[in-house]
Amino acid sequence: MRIGFFPGTFDPVTLGHIDIVNRALPLFDKLYIGIGVNANKQPMFPAEQRREWFRGIFSGVPKVEAVVYEGLTVDCCKLVGANYIVRGIRYVSDFEYEKAIADMNRTIDGGIETIFLTCLPQYTSVASTLVRDVLRYGGDISRFVPEVVLRSIHAAT
């Protein structure tokens, strides 16, 4: 069974993240979305909220499951039985950073391979950090996030 693991903070979930998940789906029998909790980062949205967004977006797709995890990504991969890590690439600079992480993960556990997927051109500039900035200053984020995320954010304000 081919099991993939797509880790990230997803704060908030963007259309770019959804693009990568949708493009990864044909490659795997099961795809876990790993919502990483990092004690050094202060997220805008709670991890449980981010997981609920993914659950709402992929409610009709049984082979997608969102989990919240803390610690090493490779440890969570082992926990869920994933042997592939999926990473989205927008720019060449993303590749350099992601390759360093992939090399570290491979050193820790040689049985886990990283697969890089490039995003569609219309999502190249969509980053959670930028979306949070637009949101903080009252801008319109509707072109950057899925409808379920937008509704949830509007309901909370």
Is 16 one of the annotated binding-site residues? no
Is 30 one of the annotated binding-site residues? no
Is 87 one of the annotated binding-site residues? yes
Q: Among the options 50, 51, 128, 152, which is catalytic?
A: 128
The CA distance from 149 to 14, in Å, is 8
Q: Which residues contact 40 (CB under 8 A, 6 or more apart)?
A: none
134 token code pair: 């637009």
Is 142 one of the annotated binding-site residues? no
Q: Among the options 17, 50, 51, 152, which is catalytic?
A: 17
Active site residue 128: yes
Active site residue 90: yes
53 token code pair: 């967004």
Is 157 one of the annotated binding-site residues? no
Which residues fall in the annotated binding site for ATP? 9-10, 17, 88-90, 98, 123-129
Which residues fall in the annotated binding site for substrate? 9, 41, 73, 87
Which residues fall in the annotated binding site? 9-10, 17, 41, 73, 87-90, 98, 123-129
Show which residues are catalytic.
Answer: 17, 41, 90, 128
